[in-house]
Amino acid sequence: MNLPNMLQIESLLSACRAETLTPTDIVREVVARINAYAVKDPAVWISRVPTERLLARAVELEGQPAADLPLYGIPFAVKDNIDVAGLPTTAACPAFAYEPSESAEVVQRLEAAGAIVIGKTNLDQFATGLVGMRSPYGQPHSVFSPEYVSGGSSSGSAVAVAAGLVSFALGTDTAGSGRVPAAFNNIVGLKPSRGILSTYGLVPACESLDCISVFAGSTSDAWKVERIAGAPDERAPYSRALCSRPLPLTTFRFGILRKEDRFFDGNEGNAVLYARAIRLLEQLGGTPVELDFAPLKNTAALLYSGPFVVERLAAIKEFHRTHRKDMDPTVGTIIDDAEKYTATDVFEGIYRQHGFQQVAQRMWADFDVMLLPTAPRIVTKQEVIDRPIAANSLLGAYTNFVNLLDMAACAVPAGFAPDGLPFGVTFVAPAFTDEDLAALAGRFHEALGEAVGAARTDRPMGEKAEEIPSSERVLLAVVGAHLKGFPLHWQLEQEHAVLRATTRTAPDYRLFALPNATPPKPGLVRERGFVGEGLEVEVYELDAAGFGRFVASVLQPMSIGRITLADGKEVCGFLCSEAVARSGTDITETGGWRYYMTER
């Protein structure tokens, strides 16, 4: 079977609806991949649904119309502090394990949409940690190196997606556990606004702050999962309806760290990548605004260095009292600290939290969204062994404040440092901006032009800031309806675009005439290993603001990403969803859209 490395939802759905793929095919391939990957990393899963049950579920789905189920046959993983009927819930503590009588509300909703639960993934015990090292079931590692952590607490969920074992995975996020593992494995981590995904069936860490989060290969996949899984639930005390709040997407202001606040713990490569991310977001229509990070940093200290740790004790108070010896030593030590705080301390902490919320609310008058590093740098497993608390604190430097201040966040890949290790950035915005936040982060991710997960593009950034492209002018390659003399060329003219070259793409691109497109247009896709003659493109130059406005007008299945030209130079350009493109007619041999339209 020839499934893509990353099991993107839309690609699988399109194949299933075209009857070129079945849920049974998907299950068999997923099981084979999991078994093969276990040789490389045996610590991803805590428990799995038996293969015969998975196949029975696939056959059940095959008796239903694929078009009726928005997640038909899509395989997913569940962090093992979220209930799945038929599998134990351990929270990575064998002495705590129990057999749930029903699945968590979010799992039920995803299964009702046609998704297939594959199994339960590893985590930092009781979701206490950002390192992925605090589990008796083993320590998953980053898909890029066995020496480096996968990030926690949702360690196994992130690896399962990045390794192409499932299409998406549920994690949880209290202090950054849905974002840090995404950065360390080159995938997307969407942390919804608190309460949008029901926490019924979740073993709480800090119940007033917990979020069930989504790992995926794209922001569109992650948002699709959140939209399907989200609904008010009276059984979850902090449940809320998603009253969508819009964000400006064409021209917008984004908060960035001041130079003196940019902390990467000595990793200069990541500093360069953050600077590049700022410039790329400028090219997409954003205006950077420096923010005061001090109140955010002070808020973050409440979570582990203040009385909010008491809530972690409240979640497992009886178990902690009777089974303290069965707990991970570091997790136990963290929760032990809760006993030194009084009720007065807790209320004073809550008052400070609300004070910081007022400060944060005023910050949104200066910008619409924040662009922050997801973490200063990835750490080795040995660093965590040597300094478990300090390493964990390092990884939470830019994440711990988000839930305390009632914000939504979406972590996306942002490239690779010269050492070949991944770096990520996080888009942060006020609560209820989830949909637009995912859309904006997705535009950034697509424009970056990197592959996702372990299938990354092998072109790490150089060490010097001079290698970052200028944000003043942007080169854009067009291949179809925007060519000079074609129906959509006016969109370039209104942005005063200047034609700089007529050239060709690198040889490994194919061009397809899209079915039922108005006006007629093609879809360009890259096919690694294919050797053709390249496709004709026109390269235009726009200013950054004009480019941002132009990109905002681009509709699916099109996106703007990075295209390699015949001379090896990379520019921005039109790409198309591969599944949609290949549903059309392959016109690669014509040499380009202009030639194809002339021959018609």
Comparing C-alpha atoms, which of 340, 274, 348 is closest to residue 309?
A: 340
- How confident is the model at residue 41, as a pLDDT? 97
- The residues spanned by each domain of the chain are 9-244, 472-599
Contact 504, 533 (CB under 8 A): yes
pLDDT in tens, 93-137: 999 999 999 999 999 999 999 999 999 999 999 999 999 999 999
Residue type, 387: R
Contact 24, 59 (CB under 8 A): yes
> What SS3 state is found at 280?
helix
Region 235-239: what's the mean pLDDT?
96
* Range with the poorest average pLDDT among 31-35, 202-206, 389-393, 449-453: 449-453
The pLDDT of residue 462 is above 50: no
Best-predicted range by mean pLDDT (420-434, 504-518, 543-557): 420-434
Contact 560, 554 (CB under 8 A): yes
- How confident is the model at residue 463, as a pLDDT? 38
The pLDDT of residue 473 is above 80: no
Alpha helices in 234-293 (DSSP H): 268-283
- How confident is the model at residue 273, as a pLDDT? 96
Q: Is 521 a catalytic residue?
A: no
- How confident is the model at residue 569, as a pLDDT? 85
More confident residue, 203 or 491: 203
Of 150, 157, 167, 177, the active-site residue reads 177
Which regions of 91-222 does DSSP assign to beta strands (E)? Answer: 116-121, 168-173, 188-191, 211-216
The pLDDT of residue 466 is above 50: no
| Paired tokens of 50 | 């038996």
| Paired tokens of 522 | 């093609």
- How confident is the model at residue 250, as a pLDDT? 84
For residues 577 and 143, give the distance between their C-alpha atoms in angstroms, rounded to a whole number. 25
Region 269-297: what's the mean pLDDT?
95
Region 161-176: what's the mean pLDDT?
97
| DSSP per-residue codes, 191-229 | EPPTTSS--TTB--SSTTT-EEEEEESSHHHHHHHHHHH
- How confident is the model at residue 472, as a pLDDT? 59
pLDDT in tens, 43-55: 999 999 999 999 9
- How confident is the model at residue 357, as a pLDDT? 92
- How confident is the model at residue 306, as a pLDDT? 76
Contact 122, 46 (CB under 8 A): yes
pTM: 0.78
Comparing C-alpha atoms, which of 32, 39, 104, 105 is closest to residue 75?
A: 32
With the C-alpha atoms ordered 251, 254, 258, 264, is the resulting torsion angle positive or negative?
negative
For residues 388 and 398, give the distance between their C-alpha atoms in angstroms, rounded to a whole number. 18
On average, the pLDDT of the chain sits at 92
Which H helix or E strand runs over 404?
A: helix 401-404
Residue type, 558: M
Q: At what angle do helices 219-229 and 105-112 cross, to 10 degrees?
A: 110
- How confident is the model at residue 499, as a pLDDT? 85
Of 11, 135, 153, 157, the active-site residue reads 153
Contact 70, 113 (CB under 8 A): yes
- How confident is the model at residue 1, as a pLDDT? 53
Q: Which CATH number fits domain 472-599: 3.30.70.260, 1.10.10.10, 3.10.490.10, 3.30.2010.10?
A: 3.10.490.10
User: With helix as H, strand as E and coil as C, how does 48-62 read?
Assistant: ECCHHHHHHHHHHHH
- How confident is the model at residue 464, as a pLDDT? 38
Question: Which strands, in side-by-side order, build the sheet including 558-564?
Answer: 498-504, 536-543, 473-478, 570-576, 558-564
DSSP 8-state symbol, 324: G
Domains 9-244 and 472-599 share a fold: no
Q: Is 569 a catalytic residue?
A: no
CATH number for the region 9-244 comes to 3.90.1300.10
Q: Which residue, chain included where needed, has tokens 């969508």? A: 244
599, exposed or middle or buried, with CB in 10 Å at 0-12, 13-18, 19+?
exposed
Of 47, 79, 157, 521, the active-site residue reads 79
More confident residue, 274 or 502: 274
DSSP 8-state symbol, 259: G
Region 139-157: what's the mean pLDDT?
97
pLDDT in tens, 47-95: 999 999 999 999 999 999 999 999 999 999 999 999 999 999 999 999 9
| Strand duo 116-121 + 75-79: pairing | parallel
The pLDDT of residue 589 is above 60: yes
Q: Is 177 a catalytic residue?
A: yes
- How confident is the model at residue 174, as a pLDDT? 96
Question: Does 157 sit behind a cis peptide bond, omega within 30 degrees of 0 on the bond before it?
Answer: no
The pLDDT of residue 447 is above 70: yes
- How confident is the model at residue 456, as a pLDDT? 62
